[in-house]
Structure 1
């Protein structure tokens, strides 16, 4: 049935919800590529590596064994145990009962907000932020509150900025290190200072640690490892998507005090029932295999691409990058230096203009930063193979040289 009008009344929290900008741009770039256009897609939030082999073997074995039925709502026990052990390599103290397996880290975040927030509760979100955070908060009945770093703050917030944003309705402080879209990595001392504010004001911490493996030249710190007092008020979000190149398998988790994990498991039992049994076995295969050497090679390869991206963009007039981007697989570039310049009959007045014209003229796809609360920036993912990344950077530089002052 196709219709242009409907008598169905939608809930206000959903009626005006936009689709994910990053997912839409990635889909558009892939559509152009499938149509034969030589687009280099730098929008993707996933590594270009293949899924690790032990995961694929474990999934095939699960199918052969007919392991295709419902599992416990919180996930199969052996995977919960493996996730706890995996997290504890960062000096946390999780047990299997603290872990709930979900269909990706995004679903874990959705559950976390829904079990924590009453109508009107506020969540402090450091900006720039991943595009879905505020919409998840809104869908859970909460109110997203942006906390912006100082212009010279290196895209990281400070305890004083958090304190100034706190109101009587503030319930949660969301942290994301390494950060999407900026690549910023908080030090242990920086995280401890932010956690002190949470303790001081009785806030719950949600720590999105999906990119914990992708840290270059510095150490990763898990928020729940800071102290038992901090761990008691922290929900740790993670998954296999980024580290093991398993984005399509859709396995994530939330680790929290057992009493909170039990509530999240109950919510999942009434919504998704449980994640895919086959994907859970695949994740178990990844987490229990000896992959340290392979993962270190992948991290070194991405670090090389990161450094070459930063170096190349630093030489492009009108483009400014944060050289301290030490995590994830993104560079966040300020392109406001190109504003007022023209391409044909178009004048660049925003990062969205820059991204649109870059795609049209140079066939390079990047994500404009407005939906990340950084309207002068574009997010550039450096996960594509090195030769394609090098060509993309040359195209970006060439595009900027064609600009004329309006």
Structure 2
């Protein structure tokens, strides 16, 4: 999922401190930093001029936005519920289902918050290691080894932080397991717009699949906090009857999201082109670095994971050194207690000049070996 929580890793500054650095190159949150579509900026300006920030929004979100989200996913018969970012909806799913399911099944590396959401309610969590597997995803075989009747499967697709993605056949195997055990599937599709091919689990197992939808990454409006949950109506009602925020996601954010979906085709073509260009540039630099290597190539997200030379500095040491050069990237320790020292994650839906600066500093840092253990 998303990367909102502060770094708080071995002396790294908080996001609030980073925001006080106006020239910082942000390549650590998987957020898009290209100049936004004019239509989105106009929608924000118009909403503010109308003082729409003084009103509560419709509880489920504007009807037009909900319809556009379902249309974008291609899930006829489903409904969308607009939330304060996708993570707000994910929290609602986890807390509502925790008393009803037997365990949560997730991956390492992955996004840590769902496990924390359910662990606070005493639900067991099964974590499958995927960093060194050929597929680098949570496989049906791994799930079959730990699944129980009524489990909750958390699939991040494409997988943050590695950039791997599920094929249709892999999802069929997983959803068949879920159906046979009466389990739920949360398909976290935060990065699907960057994938070359993407299958939705809800197309295969609609009765118990919840799809999360994010505007933070592909549209680049992470600070506005707008996302959605999507499911068939009877399943969605399970989560909407007592929401944490019954007053709706912010109107201004929803206006921006609507505008973004209206211009999605040309905007996404631009974002994907910049993202692919930046991924290729970083892959080229890493290939010349010796023992460092790209974990998944090509990444299906708007980020790349770089596995570090085992004889060199740790991921946190590398990130601190890059931050001294005014470039913020993310250590793997944020998303993997087991493998986190071995890799860093670098966002790629950013201006090409940022990527070129990263590549130059990465090369210089490697040459000077300034962050030895």
Q: CA RMSD in A?
A: 2.7
Change in CA separation of 1:384 and 1:28 when aligned onto 2, cut-off 3 Å:
farther
Matches within 5 A, 1:80-159: 80-88=66-74, 92-95=75-78, 98-118=79-99, 121-139=102-120, 141-149=122-130, 151-159=132-140
Matches within 5 A, 1:341-360: 348=313, 350-360=314-324
**2:18 matched to which residue of 1?**
30
Matches within 5 A, 1:372-387: 372-373=335-336, 374-375=339-340, 376-387=342-353
- CA deviation digits over 1:285-311, x for unaligned, max 9? 222x24312321221111111111112
SS at match of 2:346: strand
SS at match of 1:101: strand
The one of 228, 233, 236 aligned to 1:253: 228
Question: Does the CA-based 8 Å contact 2:212-2:230 persist in structure 1?
Answer: yes
- Where does structure 2 lack aligned partners over 5 or more consecutive residues? none
**2:329 matched to which residue of 1?**
366
**1:221 matched to which residue of 2?**
199
**1:79 matched to which residue of 2?**
65
**1:14 matched to which residue of 2?**
none
- CA deviation digits over 1:336-390, x for unaligned, max 9? 4233xxxxxxxx3x32233234434x55432111231132111111233212211
**1:210 matched to which residue of 2?**
190
Return the index of the structure with the highest Cα Rg: 1
- CA deviation digits over 1:196-216, x for unaligned, max 9? 22122221000011212112x
- Tell me how far apart the structure 2 counterparts of residues 61 and 358 of structure 1 sit (CA, whole Å): 39
**1:15 matched to which residue of 2?**
none
The one of 312, 317, 320 aligned to 2:285: 312
- CA deviation digits over 1:14-57, x for unaligned, max 9? xxxx95438976727735734xxx75442122011233222332
Matches within 5 A, 1:248-287: 248-268=223-243, 271-287=245-261
Q: How many residues align?
A: 363
Question: Does the CA-based 8 Å contact 1:150-1:157 persist in structure 2?
Answer: no
- Tell me how far apart the structure 2 counterparts of residues 359 and 174 of structure 1 sit (CA, whole Å): 32
**Corresponding position: 1:293 with 2:266:** yes
- Tell me how far apart the structure 1 counterparts of residues 34 and 154 of structure 2 sit (CA, whole Å): 29
**1:390 matched to which residue of 2?**
356
State the 1:161 CA deviation: 1.0
TM-score w.r.t. structure 2 length?
Answer: 0.87
State the 1:282 CA deviation: 2.4
SS at match of 1:338: coil
- CA deviation digits over 1:292-339, x for unaligned, max 9? 123212211111111111121121123121242432211111114233
TM-score w.r.t. structure 1 length?
Answer: 0.81
- Where does structure 1 lack aligned partners over 5 or more consecutive residues? 1-17, 340-347
- CA deviation digits over 1:202-247, x for unaligned, max 9? 21000011212112xx31211112x3xx011100000222222211
